[in-house]
Structure 1
Amino acid sequence: MKKLIFALPLLFGVLGIPSQTLAHTMLTNYLLNDKLEFQTTYSTDEVAEKAEVYVYAPNNFDEPWLESRTDEEGRFSFLPDSSIPGDWEVQIIDEGHGEKLLIVPVTEDGVDYENISYELRQDLHYSSTPISPIHSLLITAGVGGLWFAVLRKN
């Protein structure tokens, strides 16, 4: 019984050390054919199936110019209106588990394919506060001390 009493605080302390970050990153590849084609996957090789897609024109970032979803392979395509030059924004959201914003520059000649860029937004759903081994040891000592104090009173 005494071994169990001392093992529990140690177990809680060890569980406080994170082994990996739980986040996975959304990756979006693009290709320009007749339309601008995107495919969004995760770093785990899963496709972002049925992810929400919002396209905003440079003249109105308050209302989406186009709302759509990716297909079963995480694909989506559209062609920006070249009569509205500027930086178009493509926002891809998958059930709150990821969010990515692509900036698509458009000139009078069409999509400036070479200058498409990303703006990543952190997904707080998966983020964690880093705990160092020292913090874990302090947690273990605190839980162990409290556990010992409670048992000593009984």
Structure 2
Amino acid sequence: MKVKQFFVVLLVLISILGFPSQALAHGVETNYHLKINSLEIQSVFSTGEAFKDAPVIVHPPEGLDYAPIAGRTNEQGMFVFEPDYSVSGEWEVEIGEDSHWDMLVIPVSDRGIDFEAISQIQEDHPHHHHYLASQVIVVVLAIGCGISSQFISHKFKN
């Protein structure tokens, strides 16, 4: 009977340690609103907390000899994108870094920002894969412990 209790305790410990609750807070959500001559961008974590002071890099359209522009979000996770309308093409706005990252591709022409054609790219970082992998490992270990405890308890009964 003690072997079965050992496996139950082991299963509980693996379950508790195998599901890191903070990993869920790493997602970044970015919303944007068109203003008269700019695009107001706001990034928040999936928990709703503002992504304040996040690094922002604005990349001009490819093929042009313009340097990227660096900035930061404010306390509310806001950044205002005011493109040079004489530079037509797809501008890229990167918000965050590493596992906290999002990017908007913003088409701009001399007529303004094409709001309907804005696309959002969320890079699939290894961090997200590790979280899913840890869930799978916990499930496999839980099943393995359950099967092992049944096998061992039957062996000791005989």
1:13 equivalent among 5, 11, 18: 11
* Bigger proportion of residues as helix: 2
Alignment of 1:3-152 (within 5 A): 3=2, 6-17=4-15, 22-24=23-25, 25-33=27-35, 34-59=37-62, 65-93=68-96, 96-127=98-129, 128=131, 129=133, 130-131=135-136, 133-139=139-145
Distance in 1, matches of 2:113 and 2:71, equals: 20
Kept in 2, the 8 Å contact 1:99–1:122? The answer is no
After TM superposition, which residue ranges in structure 1, 4 or more long, deviate above 6 angstroms? none
Flag structure 2 segments of 5+ consecutive residues without an equivalent. Answer: 150-158
Query: How many residues in Structure 1 have an aligned counterpart in Structure 2?
Result: 143
Measured on the aligned residues, the alpha-carbon RMSD in Å equals 3.3
Q: Post-superposition shift, 1:20?
A: 7.8
Deviations 1:2-31 (A, max 9, x none): 74x643433333444456873332111111
Please list the CA deviations of residues 118-147 of structure 1 after superposition, one character each: whole Å capped at 9, or x if unmatched.
1111233354203264442215666x7xxx
SS at match of 1:23: helix
In the superposition, relative to structure 1, how do residues 14 and 134 fare at CA in structure 2: closer, same or farther (>3 Å)?
A: same
Q: 1:51 to 1:45 in 2, by over 3 A?
A: same
